[in-house]
Amino acid sequence: MDPTEGLGMGPTIQAHHTVTFQVPRIAVLLPETGAAAGSWIVKAIGLDAKALESTERVGDWVEEADIRRALKPRSRFTHKGSHGHALVIAGGAGCHGAGVLAATGCARSGVGLLTVHGVENTIRLIGMALPDAMTSLDANRDHVSQLPDLERYTAVAFGPGVGVTKGPKEVLKELLGRWNGPLVLDADALTMLAQQRDLLDHLSSRTVLTPHPKEMDRLLGSSSTSSYDRLCRAKAFAQEVGCTLVLKGAYSAVCSSGGRVYFNSTGNSGMAKGGAGDVLTGLLVGLLAQGYDPLEASMIACYVHGLAGDLAAVDLGADAMRASDLVRYMPQAWLGLRLP
């Protein structure tokens, strides 16, 4: 097994447990070879810290201590306006629940104010499931067709469940033309970007894209030859476009616009279900609304999202847990990070 690129090189031992020395190897993080490693741990063997820091590497491993350092304190003397106002544009025919999942994920982010813009059926569900949120009703009954006034928002998320018809495509185009603040594009928005590649020129350093592997390949314009190939291309894509990109997977990789990659250490197979990404989108836009920069927000969102999944798996099992359970277990995840 090639430890640097995660590629099989012939017959491979299918291990129950693996020890890797000093730092994780890329081979244990990628699906082609990671499954063969079983459960794994890192064992320090006293290598020089300065030498390690100066050595070229694929990316950085994100642990609890890194997230604790990144979290902003919540002063007693703040109010709801101090913690930002997020706008979530999501939901549409057949996928109204995507709007609910994104909105509830955002509501658990610590954001001060939340507004959801969507069609009538989405807004009706939001009213029942999330009385905390304000709503903005679209004029069209079937799909999102217009943008609300954007002036009062500090971050925007667009894409989960909106569909890829003409109406949402026009909304995305208008959004990219009118909004230069923090922005999360996910799900159907990523498909639109792949179909209308000229829109990539309108993304900014304040934009975060959250593709799963197939969406990443569509953005790249061709299939990847391996997970390692996809990772390298995603890293280059983030640099070229000048945005932050979260390549979702067993160890989600946050690719910065400056060319660094950060691997998330939380999460489990029970999260491999429809809707989990919608929850991540909501959590991420809520953090952006609070003033975290795109890289910090992406790292924190991935970690908290995965930690909530780990807590849910302990209580419910990987088979039975649902995407909505990630929202239920977020309070425990936050408590674990905030308490001394």
261 - beta bridge partners? 255
List, for residues 284-337, the tens digit of each pLDDT value. 999 999 999 999 999 999 999 999 999 999 999 999 999 999 999 999 999 999
Residue 154 lies in a domain: yes
List, for residues 179-214, the tens digit of each pLDDT value. 999 999 999 999 999 999 999 999 999 999 999 999
Residue 290 lies in a domain: yes
Same domain for 220 and 331, yes or no, is yes
- The least confident of 13-27, 139-153, 187-201, 318-332 is 13-27
Residue 5 in this model has a pLDDT that exceeds 90 = no
Residue 38 in this model has a pLDDT that exceeds 80 = yes
Same domain for 239 and 215, yes or no, is yes
Residue 310 tokens read as 């780990």
Same domain for 104 and 230, yes or no, is yes
Would you say 253 and 301 are in contact if contact means Cβ atoms under 8 Å apart? no
pLDDT given for residue 177 in this prediction: 97
**Distance from C-alpha of 53 to C-alpha of 167, rounded to nearest angstrom:** 49
Percent of the chain clearing pLDDT 90 (strictly above): 91
Count how many domains the chain has: 2
Question: What one-character DSSP code corresponds to residue 89?
Answer: E
CATH number at residue 203: 3.40.1190.20
Same domain for 24 and 129, yes or no, is no
Same domain for 14 and 127, yes or no, is no
Instruction: Identify the residue with better confidence: 247 or 56.
Output: 247
pLDDT band per the 50, 70, 90 thresholds, residue 56: confident
Same domain for 52 and 195, yes or no, is no
Residue 215 lies in a domain: yes
Residue 135 in this model has a pLDDT that exceeds 90 = yes
Residue 101 in this model has a pLDDT that exceeds 80 = yes
Of the residues 57, 82, 103, the one at which a domain ends: 57
pLDDT given for residue 71 in this prediction: 98
253 - beta bridge partners? 247, 263
**Distance from C-alpha of 5 to C-alpha of 27, rounded to nearest angstrom:** 6
Contacts for 68-76: CB closer than 8 Å, 24+ residues apart: 68/337, 70/292, 70/296, 70/299, 70/300, 71/300, 71/337, 71/338, 72/290, 72/291, 72/292, 74/110
- The least confident of 18-22, 107-111, 298-302 is 18-22
Same domain for 211 and 162, yes or no, is yes
- The arithmetic mean of pLDDT across residues 211-220, rounded, is 98
pLDDT band per the 50, 70, 90 thresholds, residue 125: very high
pLDDT given for residue 8 in this prediction: 65
Domain span at residue 16 reads: 1-57
Percent of the chain clearing pLDDT 70 (strictly above): 99
Residue 62 lies in a domain: no
Average pLDDT, the chain: 96
Model-wide pTM > 0.95? yes
Same domain for 165 and 279, yes or no, is yes
pLDDT band per the 50, 70, 90 thresholds, residue 3: confident
pLDDT given for residue 10 in this prediction: 78
Same domain for 32 and 160, yes or no, is no
Helix then strand then coil, in percent of the chain rounded to 5, is 45, 15, 40
Residue 267 lies in a domain: yes
Residue 63 lies in a domain: no
Same domain for 32 and 170, yes or no, is no
Of the residues 36, 57, 78, the one at which a domain ends: 57
pLDDT given for residue 6 in this prediction: 66
